[in-house]
């Protein structure tokens, strides 16, 4: 009792003043509203981590990738631009559309399609899914596809997820081109259609493969569809973020931050409003109390002790 009463109000006030001068609540205050600062929308598609439309937001592996033009979300890589039809955050996949992609109704030749080639540095982050078939159309006899490319000396063409060129030849598009099914399947020379999973070639570069066109389709398991007129045409791409980077982002968002990256060195940053943290918004990096750094936990512990003391002394 003596201890508390002897502790004068003046001393208490000076402690409070010291605290408010040296331990500002700025990080706490500014972190409000920082969460989801990077989230945005394009048309009805939500753009969230690891993607972003603003520079500095999202994971650096996906920087300069998405653009929103008149509410149409565009995806841009070395081989060209694609429209994004959907992003599935639960399955970490997205569906891309290339207007020059051949479908069942329309076969587009003349090397007008984009194919699919990603920048070398981005390759670990984006890969068409294993159940997505690429069908390369009208490739020359000299195409690397038929020269044992890339491994061994076998033609890499094969069926993918139950989708085959044999079935694709039954499409109306071929009839529209004036090519009969029999001629396509049993002509001499290399097949006019070669189906492959992306993994077999790692890039679909129509010039390099000397192909006239391509198609890409996928079927979402476990649904089995009957024929090429029921396949879904488009490029289904899986995106990857390393587990460690993913947990960084979860911790950042849990403390009210938005996940972003350093625009020069591409390291991860947690954006906490008025400041950036290399861990999360609960860690105050440059807050000095008596020359030492204190994480917010310790500070709030200190404040609880002081305010308890304050209340106790008032009861006297």
Min dist CB 56 to ligand NAG, Å, is: 3
- Would you call 97 exposed, middle or buried from its count of C-beta atoms within 10 A (0-12, 13-18, 19+)? middle
Min dist CB 302 to ligand NAG, Å, is: 26
User: Judged by CB under 6 A, which of 208, 287, 309, 310 binds ligand NAG?
Assistant: 208
Six-digit token string for 184: 């396509």
Q: Which residue is nearest to ligand NAG (CB)?
A: 56
Residue with tokens 């890589």: 77
Subset of 1-40 contacting ligand NAG (CB under 6 A): none
Residue 172 interacts with ligand NAG (CB under 6 A): yes or no: no
Q: 107 or 231, CB closer to ligand NAG? A: 231
Residue with tokens 């304050």: 310
Residue 159 interacts with ligand NAG (CB under 6 A): yes or no: yes
E-strand stretches of 111-154:
126-128, 132-137
Residue 47 interacts with ligand NAG (CB under 6 A): yes or no: no
Six-digit token string for 174: 């071929």
Six-digit token string for 105: 């109704």
Residue 260 interacts with ligand NAG (CB under 6 A): yes or no: yes
Residue with tokens 């039809």: 85
Residue 268 interacts with ligand NAG (CB under 6 A): yes or no: yes
Residue 70 interacts with ligand NAG (CB under 6 A): yes or no: no
Give ∠ CA 250-253-259 in degrees, rounded to 5.
Answer: 85
- Helix 296-314, helix 9-22: angle, nearest 10: 160
Contact yes or no for 269/275 (Cβ under 8 A)? no
Residue 258 interacts with ligand NAG (CB under 6 A): yes or no: no
Q: 129 or 276, CB closer to ligand NAG? A: 276
Residue 204 interacts with ligand NAG (CB under 6 A): yes or no: no
- Judged by DSSP in three states, 123 sits in helix
Six-digit token string for 290: 């008596």
Alpha carbon distance 244, 229 (integer Å): 42
Q: 26 or 304, CB closer to ligand NAG? A: 26
Min dist CB 313 to ligand NAG, Å, is: 39
User: Judged by CB under 6 A, which of 81, 86, 232, 279 binds ligand NAG?
Assistant: 86
Residue 41 interacts with ligand NAG (CB under 6 A): yes or no: no
Taking the CA atoms of the chain, what radius of gyration do you get in angstroms? 29
Min dist CB 244 to ligand NAG, Å, is: 4
Contact yes or no for 127/240 (Cβ under 8 A)? yes
User: Judged by CB under 6 A, which of 110, 189, 267, 290 binds ligand NAG?
Assistant: 267
| Helix segments in 54-105, DSSP class H | none
Region near ligand NAG per CB under 6 A, out of 2-10, 200-208, 231-239, 296-304: 200-208
Residue with tokens 């649904």: 223
Contact residues: ligand NAG, CB under 6 A: 44-45, 56, 60, 78-79, 86, 117, 158-159, 164, 166-167, 205, 207-208, 242, 244-245, 260, 262-263, 266-269, 271, 274-276
């Amino acid at each position: 009792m003596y201890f508390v009463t002897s502790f004068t109000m003046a001393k208490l006030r000076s402690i409070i003043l010291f605290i408010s001068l040296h331990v500002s609540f700025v990080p706490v205050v500014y972190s409000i509203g920082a969460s989801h600062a990077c989230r945005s929308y394009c048309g009805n598609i939500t753009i969230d981590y690891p993607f972003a439309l603003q520079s500095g937001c999202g994971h650096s592996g996906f920087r300069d990738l998405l653009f929103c033009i008149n509410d149409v979300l565009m995806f841009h890589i070395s081989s060209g631009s694609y429209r994004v039809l959907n992003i599935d955050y639960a399955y970490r996949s997205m569906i891309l559309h290339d207007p020059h992609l051949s479908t069942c109704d329309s076969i587009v030749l003349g090397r007008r399609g984009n194919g699919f080639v990603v920048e070398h540095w981005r390759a670990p982050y984006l890969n068409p899914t294993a159940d997505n078939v690429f069908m390369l159309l009208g490739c020359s006899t000299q195409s690397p596809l038929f020269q044992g490319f890339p491994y061994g000396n076998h033609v890499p063409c094969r069926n993918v997820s139950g989708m085959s060129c044999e079935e694709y030849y039954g499409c109306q598009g071929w009839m529209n081109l004036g090519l009969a099914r029999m001629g396509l399947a049993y002509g001499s020379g290399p097949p006019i259609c070669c189906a492959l999973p992306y993994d077999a070639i790692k890039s679909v570069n129509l010039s390099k493969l000397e192909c006239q066109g391509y198609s890409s389709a996928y079927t979402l398991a476990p649904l089995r569809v009957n024929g090429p007129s029921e396949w879904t045409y488009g490029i289904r791409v899986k995106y990857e973020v390393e587990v460690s980077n993913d947990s960084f982002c979860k911790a950042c968002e849990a403390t009210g931050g938005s996940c972003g990256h350093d625009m020069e060195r591409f390291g991860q940053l947690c954006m906490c409003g008025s400041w950036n943290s290399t861990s999360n918004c609960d860690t105050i990096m440059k807050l000095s109390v008596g020359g030492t750094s204190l994480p917010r936990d310790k500070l709030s512990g200190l404040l609880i002790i002081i305010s308890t003391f304050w209340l106790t002394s008032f009861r006297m």
